[in-house]
Every structure is written in C-alpha cells, then in structure tokens.
C-alpha cells in the first residue's frame, strides 16, 4: 500500500468507528429502572421523599391537603443529584380504573419541577391513587410510585 492510501485509511477507519458507536447509542434500548412503592409516606398527608439509584433524591408534594377531586392540584417534584431531560407524573386509580392521566412537569430551575392537574371525580367520594414520577435521565427511564387519597369530605 502506498503512503497516500495509508494516510486516507486512518481517518476513514476513525469515521467508521464513530458512525458505528453513534448508531449503537441511538438504537440501544433504554434501561427501565423501577423503584418500589414508597410505602412509608402518603402524599395526601405530607411531602414524601426517596433515594434515587446512583445517589441523589426525589421529593414530591401535592397541594392542597387533603387532595380534592375535581379541583386543581399543584404537583411539585424536587430532585437532588440528577438532572433529567423530562419529568412526568402518571396518575392511576388503585382500586378503580380511572384511566391513565399523565402530567408533564415544567422545569422551574434548581432541580424543581411543577405542574397543575385536576383528578377525575370518583362516585364513591374517596379514591386511592398511585402517582408515579417518571424521570428521563440519559439512557435511563426511572419510575418512582407514591400513593395518596383524594376526595375527602
């Protein structure tokens, strides 16, 4: 092989390796990290927090308390040690199927995320809900479930 061919082969090899690495990153599946239910805390009574994998923490608050049905509910999440690309909260009935309600939280800066939603009315008056915080962090999707009741008289 002549010298000019060798000079061109090295950059071509590097570009090919970069293309393979980029394609692999794009097409590799995301990792689902599902944390267990935070059982020692109820969002309708207090702010709840939990440790995140690889360090950091998540704190969640619902207001007002008690949590009403068919009235605005403020949702806030504070994250320490993690900067996600996206933060959502899924609301699902635990004892009754009320469908899936997803709320995307707005980035308020400093690890604070917030949004507002209205939960559907349950005909029984009181409803047990699961609020699952969904974090999109790099190649990981982290979910953290919490429980609460709404519709107190």
Instruction: State the pLDDT at residue 4.
Output: 59
Residue 10's pLDDT is what?
66
Asked if 150 contacts 68 with a C-beta cutoff of 8 angstroms, the reply is yes
Give dist(CA 132, CA 88) in Å, integer.
8
Rounded to two decimals, the pTM is 0.79
14 in any annotated domain: no
Q: What's the mean per-residue pLDDT of the chain? A: 86
48-78 in b/e burial notation, b at 16+ Cβ within 10 A?
A: bbbebeeeeebebbbeebebebeeebebbbb
Instruction: Report the 3 state secondary structure along 42-84.
Output: ECCCCCEEEECCCCCEEEEEEECCCECCCCEEEEEEEEECCCC
| In-domain check, residue 78 | yes
pLDDT at 149: 92
Instruction: Give the separation between CA 145 and CA 112, rounded to whole angstroms.
Output: 18
Per-residue model confidence as pLDDT tens digits over 1-40: 555 555 566 677 766 666 665 655 555 677 899 999 999 8
Convert the pLDDT of each residue in 79-113 to its tens digit. Answer: 999 999 999 999 999 988 888 899 999 999 999 99
How many domains in the chain? 1
Task: Tell me the CATH number at 90.
Answer: 2.60.40.1930
Give the structural domain span for 68: 31-150
Q: Is residue 88 part of a domain?
A: yes
Question: What's the whole-number mean pLDDT along residues 108-135?
Answer: 90
Quote the pLDDT of residue 126: 84
Residue 135 lies in a domain: yes
Whether 60 is covered by a domain: the verdict is: yes
CB-based contacts of 89: which residues, under 8 Å, 6+ apart?
Answer: 60, 75, 77, 102, 103, 105, 115, 131, 132, 133, 134
Whether 7 is covered by a domain: the verdict is no
| 9 lies in some domain | no
Q: Which residue has the tokens 């403020």?
A: 74
The pLDDT of residue 96: 87
- Is 26 a member of any domain? no
Give residue-wise pLDDT tens across range 46-84.
Answer: 999 999 988 899 999 999 999 988 889 999 999 999 999
């Amino acid at each position: 092989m002549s010298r000019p061919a060798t000079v061109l082969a090295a950059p071509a090899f590097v570009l090919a390796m970069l293309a393979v690495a980029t394609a692999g990153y794009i097409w590799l599946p995301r990792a689902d990290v599902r944390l267990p239910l935070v059982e020692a805390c109820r969002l309708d009574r207090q702010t709840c927090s939990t440790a995140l994998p690889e360090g950091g923490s998540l704190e969640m608050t619902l207001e007002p308390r008690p949590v009403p049905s068919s009235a605005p509910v403020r949702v806030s999440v504070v994250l320490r040690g993690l900067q996600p690309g996206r933060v959502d909260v899924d609301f699902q009935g635990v004892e009754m199927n009320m469908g899936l309600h997803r709320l995307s939280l707005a980035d308020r800066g400093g690890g604070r995320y917030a949004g507002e939603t209205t939960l559907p009315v349950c005909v029984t008056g009181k409803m047990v809900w699961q609020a699952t915080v969904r974090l999109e962090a790099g190649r990981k999707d982290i979910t953290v479930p919490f429980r609460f009741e709404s519709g107190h008289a």
